[in-house]
Structure 1
């Protein structure tokens, strides 16, 4: 922000120049005018003195004339170069000086009231793409700290916390967004979802009230419908889960990549009830199918509970993952599908980039950015439909 204040200072100096330069010039002209008036007064006193001496007989007519001529020459010499000044009225020096002192304070006060220094600072902060999700989180945390009334910043901070599995922090962020923007259905759904996972997937009257309020305002609120389906499935209420998820599928666009995952949930619920599974219920949608396995020589070096992060990142673009799934070593080998519905940020999706790289990382600490073992693929087209084989077989260069 140094450049901004330097420019503001230069503008202030320019404004002060318009005030002070005329004052200084006026003082110079006033001094010239005062000197001329003094010379004229002295000339008149000299003439009066010569006339008094002539009346007293000390000077004759010839000497009187000579004295007058000499006084006139002295007056002309003293006033030579002086400009004739038109009559003018000035404010004096006090009023301009007071105005010059008040101008910076007035300008600062007006800018504090109508200015947008916080917006300028945030624009500079978000000018470059973040390199990691941690950097994105830090930027959003700084944004809400500088402008707590930005509902958008609180919302995206909550989404980022959810991507990092920080559900409790996400719940607080969504709650602040609601305090600022009001009880919008989408925000209510996101808040309820964060509270559900922060509370160990225990359904509470508060969650029921939030989802009821969201769906009353918008019956097609997708987060609330999805959450109700998850909660019902986790509690063994498979028919209710199918009903909520079918409502969700009905309101989603045909091209929405998340339809496949929802249909998968419906199929699993039908299997639990012993009902036939509908085939090809929804379009597979764009995405990458990844088959992940662990190298044989690493089997004894890992633990079943170690986290496994499977993600896709752009070959030419931001280094932060575009989509991510989390498993454990006990789940391997496994097949997962990465699609736009798994995007960590709404504006960064797999379909938005021509080429991506697939990575699988084992992290004992649960840190998605650094671990012990890793496997990666060569660059491939984001529209690839064939399943991709990914073998975790190398030491992670980003190991802590």
Structure 2
């Protein structure tokens, strides 16, 4: 705030300068006018004196004319440097009062309607918070100052979850979705907040949110983790293993959460063995995806590539999907039940499938610019399938 007030003070000085400088110049101009009036009065006295001397017979007509001419030259010499000025209608008091009042009025309006709170918040966020509670308070103030900022709402929701306030987090995420659109990561966070706010009871709304998030991004991590938790709590241990293995495959090797996630997978596998079963051997469909040479100059490295399998008969929704980028091509991937976008629709339950690789600049899995497709094949095919993206996506 010091910088703000310093800037305001400099502006006030500048404003005073614009008003006071003409006033000071006016005083100098007035002095010039007074001196000119005095010179004129002296000239008139000199002319009157010469006329009196002529009448007394002391000067003849020629001497009178020369005397008047000399007096006129002296008057011109004294007044030729004087600057003409406009008549002054205002005194000094009113301009000075206006020069002070206007900047102060502008500052008052700025304090009332301006962005002082945002400046304070920016300065606060430049300093690390002393605690999670302080960070949450800052984010609450940021949301209050900018209620239409989806980013502030998102981070406030994360802070509420860290403080175990899921109901408040769910309300904040709902606002963020309304502002920024139905982005997969925000949908996943919203579903997670609702799950814990409802005492870990799965609802139709949570199911719809996770399904929508995974349809937009098959690798959306919050939804995968949440579905794994819900499956474990529901004693659907094989499903939990599938979701968590899918999530584990995305985490960097140095990620600290890998150990906890692997521990959850191990506990689910132990539950299966205790119940007399064993973790099922997953069906793995191997796919190699390449980009046709003719398209290399027509795509960008960061364009999204969706690789998915869908049943040749029945619903057209993908049974399993992975999300990549053009920069990763050519690449070999595996599609399994762990890559299912919807729990009831699994790769292992389909007899025949069709493989599709689609480049989507918008990041939408069901629409894009270029596509490659395979002929129908058995879902348990062992050989690696080859997909070449080479055709316009109609």
TM range (shorter): 0.5 to 0.7
Separation in 1 of the partners of 2:80 and 2:183?
75
The match for 1:165 is: 164
1:118–1:147 Cα contact (<8 Å) kept: no
The match for 2:146 is: 147
Matched, 1:247 2:251: no
The match for 1:199 is: 198
Deviations 1:193-231 (A, max 9, x none): 001110122222221221122112211110011111111
Aligned residue runs from structure 1 range 20-169, under 5 A: 20-47=19-46, 49-50=48-49, 53=52, 57=55, 59-61=56-58, 84-86=81-83, 97=95, 100=99, 104=103, 117-169=116-168
Deviations 1:296-348 (A, max 9, x none): xxxxxxxxxxxxxxxxxxxxxxxxxxxxxxxxxxxxxxxxxxxxxxxxxxxxx
Aligned residue runs from structure 1 range 301-320, under 5 A: none
Larger mean Cα displacement after TM superposition, 247-256 or 195-204: 247-256
Cα separation, partners in 2 of 1:30 and 1:149, compared to 1, 3 Å:
same
Cα separation, partners in 2 of 1:184 and 1:127, compared to 1, 3 Å:
same
2:194–2:206 Cα contact (<8 Å) kept: yes
Separation in 1 of the partners of 2:141 and 2:102?
32
Separation in 1 of the partners of 2:80 and 2:167?
81
Separation in 1 of the partners of 2:200 and 2:181?
26
Deviations 1:332-382 (A, max 9, x none): xxxxxxxxxxxxxxxxxxxxxxxxxxxxxxxxxxxxxxxxxxxxxxxxxxx
> What displacement does 1:16 show?
1.9
> What displacement does 1:129 show?
3.2
2:118–2:142 Cα contact (<8 Å) kept: no
Separation in 1 of the partners of 2:27 and 2:260?
85
Matched, 1:188 2:187: yes
Larger mean Cα displacement after TM superposition, 46-55 or 102-111: 102-111
> What displacement does 1:52 show?
5.7
The match for 1:266 is: 265
Separation in 1 of the partners of 2:209 and 2:87?
71
2:29–2:85 Cα contact (<8 Å) kept: no
Separation in 1 of the partners of 2:199 and 2:210?
18
> What displacement does 1:170 show?
1.3
The match for 1:218 is: 217
> What displacement does 1:190 show?
0.7
The match for 1:176 is: 175
1:158–1:170 Cα contact (<8 Å) kept: yes
1:195–1:207 Cα contact (<8 Å) kept: yes
Cα separation, partners in 2 of 1:36 and 1:106, compared to 1, 3 Å:
same
Deviations 1:159-190 (A, max 9, x none): 22212211101112222333343322211111
SS at match of 1:246: helix
Separation in 2 of the partners of 1:62 and 1:255?
118
> What displacement does 1:44 show?
4.1
Matched, 1:232 2:234: no
> What displacement does 1:125 show?
1.9
Cα separation, partners in 2 of 1:131 and 1:13, compared to 1, 3 Å:
closer
The match for 2:14 is: 15
Separation in 2 of the partners of 1:106 and 1:131?
38
2:33–2:82 Cα contact (<8 Å) kept: no
CA RMSD of aligned residues (A): 4.3
Separation in 2 of the partners of 1:90 and 1:224?
80
2:12–2:103 Cα contact (<8 Å) kept: no
SS at match of 2:129: coil
Cα separation, partners in 2 of 1:214 and 1:97, compared to 1, 3 Å:
farther
> What displacement does 1:51 show?
5.7
SS at match of 1:61: coil
Separation in 2 of the partners of 1:270 and 1:246?
12
TM, length-normalised to structure 2: 0.56
Aligned residue runs from structure 1 range 273-312, under 5 A: 273-274=272-273, 275-276=277-278
Where does the alignment leave 5 or more consecutive residues of structure 1 unmatched? 279-400
Cα separation, partners in 2 of 1:203 and 1:90, compared to 1, 3 Å:
farther
Separation in 2 of the partners of 1:47 and 1:183?
96
